[in-house]
Amino acid sequence: MIDKKSIYARYSWILWAGITLVVYLWAILSLDFSGIQESARKVTGSIFYGLFHPDLAYIYNGSGEDLVSLIVQTLAIAFLGTFVSAILSVPFAFWAARTEQNKHFHPRSTSGKLVLVFIRTFPEIVLAIMFIKAVGPGSFAGVLAVSIHSIGMLGKLFSEAIENMDRGADEALKAAGGRKADIWLLATFPTILPEFINYTLYRFEIAVRSASILGMVGAGGIGTPLLFAIQTRSWSRVGVILLGIIIMVTLIDWLSGNLRKRLV
């Protein structure tokens, strides 16, 4: 007798591949493609010229608006935003984490997860525009945007770390008569701390990329001079800024990756 479930499990990928293909075709065919602009070739050539002939005088000139100063500002926005969110995410994580007794549904954990989903709904650039209206343009709006959005991301990751943690140390202290405070300080927190640091470093990598873009809407960092250089077609300056962003992101990824390997 043919088992219908086994046949479905074996060939279900064909169904989902077909559905995915139909969705992609529908999305591509619905695009209003009006052709390539006549200036595209010239602009592309100018960008590549700028990359290979960067404005080296812009790297550092002591004005505070040079490449080095703005990269430091971008890193500061990403670091402070991640640091603040890492602290504020901890109570959200315990709020959203499911326990062994409530693996499927519980009002506390479900409401916490919904709050984190709501926070993650707003991208950093949207939050930056909102905060610029509230506190004005500058780095402070960028820090607020990165920190608020990162709460949603880190809260989710931290809650999963709490749910998947090894509870052997908790049970041992509980059996020895430890109080709840002792269990949390001596067993729970040391167990989940490496995971928390690991996720925070990973989030910092993403925050550096986000902080590089937020300046384009006026939230501080390297994005603002990049936008001005593109608008004024100063391709040599665009080239040196892009090279600076590439080097910054590469170094941060390398350092963060090495630190995370030591924690795992």
**Can you give the pLDDT at residue 87?**
92
Element (H, E) at 215: none
CA 262 to chain centre: 21
User: pLDDT tens digits for 144-186?
Assistant: 999 999 998 998 888 888 888 777 766 776 777 767 776 777 7
Pull the structure tokens for residue 178: 């430890």
Residue 229 is predicted with a pLDDT of: 86
Angle between helix axes 67-96 and 139-163 (nearest 10 degrees) is: 40
The closest alpha carbon to 118, from 77, 152, 169, belongs to 152
Rounded CA gap, 133 and 51, in Å?
Answer: 34
Closest CA to 216 of 206, 204, 228: 228
User: Which amino acid is it at 52?
Assistant: F
pTM: 0.78
Residues of the chain with pLDDT under 70: 1-9, 11, 33, 35, 100-105, 169-170, 173, 178, 182, 263-264
pLDDT of res. 103: 60
Q: Given this model, what pLDDT does residue 84 score?
A: 92
Name the DSSP letter for residue 219.
S
SS3 19: helix
Identify the pLDDT of residue 147: 92
The full length of the chain comes to: 264
The CATH fold assigned to 51-97+105-261 is MetI-like fold (1.10.3720)
pLDDT score recorded for residue 48: 81
pLDDT digits (tens, 9 = 90+) for 69-99: 889 999 999 999 999 999 999 888 888 887 7
Q: Where are the domains of the chain?
A: 51-97+105-261
